Amino acid sequence: MPASSDQPALSVVVMGYRNRDTIVGAVGSILAQADDRVEVVVVTSGGDDSATLVRTAFPGLGVVEIPGRLMPGGARNAGIAASRGAVVAFLAGDCVAAEGWVGGRLARHAEGHPVVASAVVNADRRRPAAWGFHFGLYSHRLAGRPAGPIGGRDGAAHGCSFDRAVLERAGGFSSDMRVGEDTQMGWTLDELGVPVWFEPTVQTAHRGPPGMVELVRDDVEDGLALAQPILESYCPAATRPAAEFALRHHDYVKDSFLGEAPVAALIDDLETLDPEQRPVALAALGLIQVAGASSLGVGRLTDFRIAIFHACLDGTALADPSPELRLARLLAPSPDPSPAAGGGCDVAAARAARDGLPAAEGDDLDVLLASVFVHGWHGFVADIGPDDRLGVLVRLAGHNRAWGADHLVLADSVRSGGRGRLADPPRAERYVALSGTQTVTIVA
């Protein structure tokens, strides 16, 4: 699609959700290749200082700042609306455009290709988990794949730039999907009969997860995105939201009974369903607990899993989102506290322990209990008592005031290096999951 005399040939939309640590590098990787034919628009959401950092580093650059969270499709649509280019490309805020990213796209579109897909390279070559993530997720988009035409349902039909007219015909991206909005766009391109060209010399460097825990957790959301077309084809529309809820949260509900995950997120998602579907969704969640555990072999179907099953069936699984109950579960001596009757935990003692904290420490702990996932907690504190557990939790909550993480992970290296003990200050690594979750892995 040729640009008019006053229209940029290419608009690049850089999208970030709380990507303060990486978004300036992402924008810089585009500007290093851009000339006066290229417009750059940045879309940030989530309420951190990403937009301020971009404006400081690149004065005069167009920035769309949304205080709340935008899903990736919503960020893409905001960038499309704020840009003017004849061609629109997108770069995630945790990625970097390799040399030739801009020029390669312009050249292929100038040849008449309305949609140009691109390759992915591993930005973190030191970590085995990053390589596993790279080959597992991007096997269809490796740089060694030959250039050529592909279908919209091909796994390589991602990382695309589009003639603006194509985006207008497609109606933009789905704005309510955590992941998979670009996969859905590929299906739409097939339905519209729009051809896609895969260009391996246009390469995006993606940062993979720092460890295996993050790799596995990303796979849950990726799996749901890949299952979406199957659900749309075979699951009745009336019950599809309940099925998606159960698939998304089948592991999360177990973590909430351990206290490692806040129950509020489950309740929020459940309340988006039609009231008649909520019992179905909870029952499916419970069935997955017992069916999944049984399939793993003898000894895996524990009383704990069965108790979760019953709590899902009778509706008590999400009946109590109180911070005192979550704190009691985190301070409980067993890694599988029974969820029956308040979890078999001492809620009164947990409330007294919280009330006995200084105001600042109590406030930090309240934030963590309300909204922050603490993965690996019970393995980390297995050898220490409830009083010391509270101290460790308070320290984590205090550090997270600066980290601003949605998800804290106590890595295997921390547990093996001395359970219940953290370095002061802890050594932490940041990572943004595909779903947009801000993750901090504590490695020492």
Q: Which two tokens stand for residue 310?
A: 């019953």
Write out the DSSP string of 145-205.
Answer: SPPEEE-TTSTT--S-EEEHHHHHHHT---SS-SS-HHHHHHHHHHHHT--EEEEEEEEEE
pLDDT at 233: 62
Query: According to the model, what pLDDT value does residue 247 have?
Result: 76
Buried-state track 147-161, b at ≥16 Cβ within 10 A, e below 16: eeebebebebbbbbb
What sign results for the dihedral spanned by CA atoms 399, 405, 408, 409?
negative
pLDDT, tens digit (0-9, with 9 covering 90-100), for 316-374:
888 788 889 899 989 987 766 655 544 567 889 899 999 999 999 999 999 999 999 99
Length of the chain: 444
**Residue 96: what are its φ and ψ, rounded to 5°?**
-135, 135
Q: Where are the domains of the chain?
A: 10-206
Q: Coil, strand, or helix at residue 41?
A: strand
Instruction: Write out the two tokens for 304.
Output: 């704990």
Mean pLDDT estimate for the chain = 83
Q: Is CATH 3.40.47.10 the classification given to domain 10-206? A: no
Section 197-226 average pLDDT: 66
Tens-place pLDDT, residues 277-300: 888 888 888 888 877 766 655 556
- What is the predicted pLDDT for the residue at 183? 87
pLDDT value of residue 390 = 92
For 35-64, what is each residue's pLDDT tens digit?
A: 999 999 999 998 889 999 999 999 989 999
Minimum mean pLDDT range among 13-17, 128-132, 237-241, 280-284? 128-132
pTM equals 0.57
Cα angle 169-170-172, degrees, rounded to a multiple of 5:
115
Largest CA distance in the chain: 71
Residue 12 has pLDDT above 90, yes or no: yes
